[in-house]
Amino acid sequence: MVMQQALVLERRNELSLRDIDLPDVTGPGMVKIAIDTVGICGSDVHYYTHGKIGSFIVEEPMVLGHEAAGTVVEIGAGVSHLKPGDRVCMEPGIPDPQSRASRLGLYNVDPAVTFWATPPVHGVLTPQVVHPAAYTFKLPDNVSFAEGAMIEPFAVGLQAAQKARIAPGDVAVVIGAGPIGIMTALAALAGGCSTVVIADMMAEKLEIAGRYAGIVPVNIKERPLQSVVDELTHQWGADVVFEASGSAGAWKTLLSLPRPGGAVIVVGMPVEPTLIDWATASTREIRFETIFRYAHQYPRAIQMIGAGKVDLKPLISETFDFSRSIEAFQRAAEGRPTDVKLQIKLR
């Protein structure tokens, strides 16, 4: 262990920039990384403002941050695919490689997974971290650290798009134009959708989403989503509907949107129970899929961004120096409608 300065969540609504003991030994199969850029995720903000997410409760001081990119400064024994100086991004969830879930390729749902900035595991808003090389990925030369730190949330969108089994030319609907909703829409387009309708009540978020070709923004305060879908599909319905808002209210009319035999992909996590019209789901043979984080998506995300298939740079609203980390989190907690992704730069 070594003392490092870090952004520490001391308790609910209390942050500090201070020294804290963190791991510093680069053992076999591990790499040490100098952190460059960290994105602020909604879960980071939720721990800051609420002190817990479900059964995960902040009971001890915890370093925040899990969307990160940096530079390898040291490698442990047995690491052959990385070297000092490599620019990398890191997958924050580490499973037990011997678990049944991992052997099935479903390591994201391994009950034993440890995930950065999830109590009691420290995050990465600190100058250096040690991480398994198997979950550390080299960035192409044309992918910036800022984009590298966006790989983590984009991987969620890719997981959703993969579960959707998109066919070329499909029409999709995304409910919720937050960071994950927009990234899901971009992943759906890259996966073959001809059009993605994205719905929300925040005009500012919709304006940002609408800058992308192929995305049709719909402000549901001004126009019924159903009418837009009907118009685009000639009353047939969308091939895929992604629920990314986490709103229980969205489920009241959601099943009227997919076509017969279409799919509903549950991306957002409602904070309260939802009612589902199973009779409609059955008579229309709606297929349901759920996602939890992602598995095996990082290489795919890196390749897509490196190839120019997806541009996430317009989603970065502002970047703060590490010394302004507390200010950055206070800004994120405001939930400004013009903000999509705030980042913190450590170097």
CA-closest candidate to residue 163, choices 281, 288, 303, 305: 288
pLDDT of residue 25: 84
The tokens for 214 are: 């192929």
- SS3 helix, strand, coil % of the chain, rounded to 5? 30, 30, 40
pLDDT of residue 278: 93
Residue given tokens 């000092």 in the structure block = 84
How high is the mean pLDDT in each 10-residue block of the chain (347 residues)? Answer: 94 96 92 98 95 92 98 97 98 95 94 94 97 97 98 98 98 97 98 98 97 97 97 98 94 95 95 88 97 96 96 97 98 96 96
What is the topology classification, in CATH, of domain 154-290? Rossmann fold (3.40.50)
Three-state secondary structure call for residue 265? strand
pLDDT of residue 205: 96
For domain 2-150+312-345, give the CATH superfamily. Medium-chain alcohol dehydrogenases, catalytic domain (3.90.180.10)
Indicate the pTM of the whole model: 0.95
Q: What is the largest CA-CA distance in the chain?
A: 63
pLDDT of residue 55: 86
CA-closest candidate to residue 41, choices 116, 141, 107: 116
Residue 297 burial by Cβ neighbours in a 10 Å radius (0-12, 13-18, 19+): buried
pLDDT of residue 116: 97
**Angle value at C-alpha 242, between 237 and 248, nearest 5 degrees:** 105
pLDDT of residue 23: 86
DSSP string, 120-182: TB--S-SSEEEEEGGGEEEPPTTS-HHHHTTHHHHHHHHHHHHHHT--TT-EEEEE--SHHHH
Residue ranges covered by each domain of the chain: 2-150+312-345, 154-290
